[in-house]
Amino acid sequence: MGTSMVGHILKHGYDVTIFNRTLSKCDGLKKQGASVADSPAEVAKVSDIVFGIVGYPKDVRKVFLDPDWGVLASLKSGGVIVDMTTSEPSLAKEIYDAAKLKGISSLDAPVSGGDVGAKEATLSIMVGGDHDTMEATMPLFEIMGKNIRHMGGAGAGQHTKMSGLDIAEAIRAVSAGAAGSWSISNLGPRIANRNFDPGFFVEHFVKDMGIALKEAERMNLSLPGLALANQLYVAVKAQGHGRLGTQSLMLALEQLNGINFC
């Protein structure tokens, strides 16, 4: 994904310095005009904004926080770091705090859309951090994506894929990415407003899933996903919500977890 994202930035005329732990993976971008550095710290020395997208939180920590090798070891005051890895909200906050001590701004901005979204510059980008920093970085975000949303403070971009955010904003962000679906786009806003008026009754859905499961058993098919969905909707019906819409599944999940989602 990173290769495609950097490629778009190069095409817009920006000077770009890159690093990859496997140097051979830099060859294609080098041919397009990128300079290649020996470490994230070397990238930071010659950059105003540093983007990172790696595999795991431990990689994020090393890339940004390593005292000798990482970005914060050499990025000058006034710079911006943007972690686009899907990582831990607590780590995003830790990076934000460490950057702030050095006069550096930090954003966590995980993406949705996969390789196709990266290649076509249609990624959904969910941004956590200071709003003015996001606005200053927006020209670069718009080169890489089409749906860019500010989700809140540091760590909020990462939380978008979990919980604890403004649900309406989360629905808009997720529906524009690879996880989007008809149900999210059409029923998500109703869920956000706790509108459980029926489009399709829960009791009818339970009936239909029961028929499908019986047929699957007759055909010796295993459909564990359908079986789980059926169990959850049976729980909704048992709560007395059989005449509500299928989006009322959230009511069963709220009861299981002992919380209200919105």
Query: Which residues belong to the active site?
Result: 161
- N- to C-terminal Cα separation, the chain: 33
How far CA 257 is from CA of 128, 189, 227, in Å, comes to 26, 21, 20
Structure tokens at 123: 């990624």
Give the span between the Cα atoms of 102 and 67, in whole angstroms.
Answer: 13
Torsion sign across C-alpha atoms 54, 88, 188, 143 = negative
CB 155 within 8 A of CB 92: yes
Give the span between the Cα atoms of 236 and 165, in whole angstroms.
Answer: 24
CB 241 within 8 A of CB 253: no
CB-based contacts of 138-144 (< 8 A; 24+ apart in sequence): 140/9, 140/14, 140/49, 140/51, 141/109, 143/8, 143/9, 143/12, 144/5, 144/8, 144/9, 144/111, 144/118
Residue 228 half-sphere exposure toward CB, CA atoms < 13 A: 4
How many residues are present in the chain?
Answer: 262
